Every structure is written in C-alpha cells, then in structure tokens.
Amino acid sequence: MTLPLFLVEPALLAGAQAGSPIVLDGPEGRHAAAVRRIGVGEQVMLADGVGTRVTCEVVGAGAAELVLRVVGAVHEPEPQPRLVLVQALAKGDRDDQAIEAATELGVDEVVPWQAARSIVQWRGERGEKARRKWESAVVAATKQSRRARAPVVAPTVSSKALAERVTAAAAAYVLHEDATTTLAAQPLPAAGDVLVVVGPEGGITPEERASFEAAGAVIVRLGSTVLRSSSAGPAALAVLSARDRWA
C-alpha cells in the first residue's frame, strides 16, 4: 500500500537527508497523529510542493505531532514542457472536478478563466471563496496522488488576459467541438508552457476564438464525442502526457 503523504512548508525539508530528524506538527501533524493514528514504526512521506519528497520512519508520536527520521529524500525537477490547464469557470462543481483530476494527472498550473459565457462570476468575497476552494482541491489531489510538486493556482484571467498569455506560451491548444484537427496530431514543444484551454458550458464565443487564434493558439478536438467541461481538460492532459511524460 502506498504510504500517506503530507504537505509541509519547504523550510521543513530544506537540507533533509537520510537520518535527519523532522517534527511533523500543525494541521498535518494533528491529522497524522489524531485522525490517521499513525504510530511508531510506521512510515510516511512528506512533500514541500515544490519538488522535494522524503520518506520517513515514525520514531515518536504525540497527541498532535509525529517525530520522524528521514529514510530517503528525492528532488524532482520541474517538468518541461509545463502543462497548464486554463479552465473556464463552470456552474456546480464541474470546474472543481476538472482541476482535481488534472492535478492527479500531473498538471503544473491551473488558470481560472472568466469566459464571456461563464455563468459563474468570481467577484469580491465570493470569488475569493471560490478560489480558496480550488486551492483546497489542488492540495487534496496532490496528497492523494503522492505528488512532490503541487500545481500553481494562477490568478483569474479575462479573455483579453488569456490571449496575452497564449502569445507568451510555447504552444496553446483550444478545445472546440467544431475543430477539424485533433490534439493528438499536434507537436509538443520541448520546453515552455503548453496551454490547454477549456471553455464554459455555453462554449467559447466566436470573438474569443478569433482572439486566441490571432495570438497563436490552435483550435483542436479530442475525438468524435463532446465532453463536459469537467472531463475535457483532464482528457486532453492525458493525451499530452501519454506522448511525453508517460512514454
């Protein structure tokens, strides 16, 4: 069975190597000791979210903390190219489902997009609350999938700002059911950001599509079926990962 993973601040794992002592406390320590009831002699993994992951043996357990000894440590460099999911805000929890699955599939960054046809609007306190929900979903999925790197949750972008980001990317692919070419047929750059853009339930407007194409994006489809906004992004990431990271 895969060891449980807990996310910690990078400073806690700085310089960690076999034999190093670590105290896991705070919310993660309480969860490990009081909820998971992990005891002496068991092993756990810790990750700092930016590439370092260590395997530790529990040598002491309190009511809300674990005393650990590092067994081994690895540092994973940032993958290239970087896979970036641009997810249009969607009603219900469809966008939450999308970024959760995308995290499990290895996405490096998720970008909330306030598309013209997005029914949901992220404004004021409601927007901050929704953004925190995305961040919580990413953290939970990072731990579930035992990732050393947690995806970045970028600031919300407008369609205009997204077009600017498309211009700066190494490649950008906009999923659209009317596209005549497939994502699987597109080249994958060796480095830089690769954007996968998923529209809202109502679709991408002609104006948005034209703006993204003018900025250098390629309009693509995944296959012959039409996917929901919650599944299109993860499916596209799987296609790209199968050609590079999973090969």
Q: Are 146 and 104 in contact (CB under 8 A)?
A: no
Mean pLDDT of the region 196-215:
95
Domain with CATH 3.40.1280.10 in the chain: 82-243
Burial readout 100-133 (b: 16 or more C-beta within 10 A, e: otherwise): bbbbbbbbbbbbbbbbeebebebeeeebeebbee
Mean pLDDT of the region 46-50:
97
> What pLDDT sits at residue 228?
86
Mean pLDDT of the region 41-47:
97
Domain with CATH 2.40.240.20 in the chain: 5-75
Q: Are 179 and 219 in contact (CB under 8 A)?
A: yes
Strands (E) in the chain, as ranges, are 5-7, 21-24, 43-47, 52-61, 66-75, 82-88, 109-113, 152-153, 171-175, 193-198, 218-220
The region, left, alpha or beta by phi > 0 then psi within -120 to 50, assigned to residue 26 is left
Report the alpha-carbon distance of residue 21 to residue 76 in Å, rounded. 21
> What pLDDT sits at residue 78?
92
Q: Taking Cα atoms as reference points, which of 131, 44, 43, 35 lies closest to residue 87? A: 131
Mean pLDDT of the region 134-139:
94
Lowest-pLDDT choice from 89-103, 145-159, 184-198: 89-103
> What pLDDT sits at residue 229?
83
Q: Are 88 and 229 in contact (CB under 8 A)?
A: yes
Report the alpha-carbon distance of residue 156 to residue 88 in Å, rounded. 10
Q: What percent of the chain has pLDDT over 90?
A: 83
Options 3.40.1280.10, 1.10.1060.10, 2.102.10.10, 3.40.50.620; which CATH number does 82-243 get? 3.40.1280.10
Q: Does domain 5-75 have CATH number 3.30.70.3270?
A: no
Tell how strand 109-113 and strand 82-88 pair up.
parallel
> What pLDDT sits at residue 75?
94
